[in-house]
Amino acid sequence: DAGITQSPRYKITETGRQVTLMCHQTWSHSYMFWYRQDLGHGLRLIYYSAAADITDKGEVPDGYVVSRSKTENFPLTLESATRSQTSVYFCASGMDEVETQYFGPGTRLLVL
């Protein structure tokens, strides 16, 4: 049972480049989320999705784009990476609004 996976686990890119972080879950959870983790801020929600083709902004959505064409996948795209987007990104999923969220292993992104 793979659960929830993220790829790549580590990524180095340059300012201005487009980067896509992948998230895949095998539980058929309806809800999926993207968080970023920065020192002193804990985790902050970027975007979330309640179902395929339904997405909504979280606390810090600027500079990010998401899509969800299939229930199991929820990619996060940085259209033009900036240094302030250097962070650790976590994908999570949950069955519904009651169920607990379960997290992927994270992607460490460095923008030079």
Partner 1 sequence: AQTVTQSQPEMSVQEAETVTLSCTYDTSESDYYLFWYKQPPSRQMILVIRQEAYKQQNATENRFSVNFQKAAKSFSLKISDSQLGDAAMYFCAYRSKGAQKLVFGQGTRLTINP
For partner 1, the closer CB: 10 or 69: 10
State which residue, 8 or 105, has the beta carbon closest to partner 1: 105
Dihedral (CA of 32, 36, 41, 46) sign: negative
74 binds partner 1 (CB under 8 A): no
Closer by beta carbon to partner 1, 50 or else 65: 50
Which helix (H) or strand (E) is 87 found in, with range?
strand 87-94
**b/e string for 22-42 if b means 16 or more Cβ within 10 A?**
ebbbeeebbbbbbbbeeeeee
C-alpha 110/C-alpha 87 separation (Å) is 7
Residue 62 corresponds to which tokens in the numbers above?
Answer: 């600027």
Task: Map residues 86-105 to x or -, x wherever contact with partner 1 holds by CB under 8 A.
Answer: --x-x-x-x--x--xxxx-x
Q: Is residue 53 near partner 1 by the rule CB under 8 A? A: no
Which residues bind to partner 1, rule: CB under 8 A?
Answer: 31, 33, 35, 40-45, 48, 50, 58-59, 88, 90, 92, 94, 97, 100-103, 105-106, 108
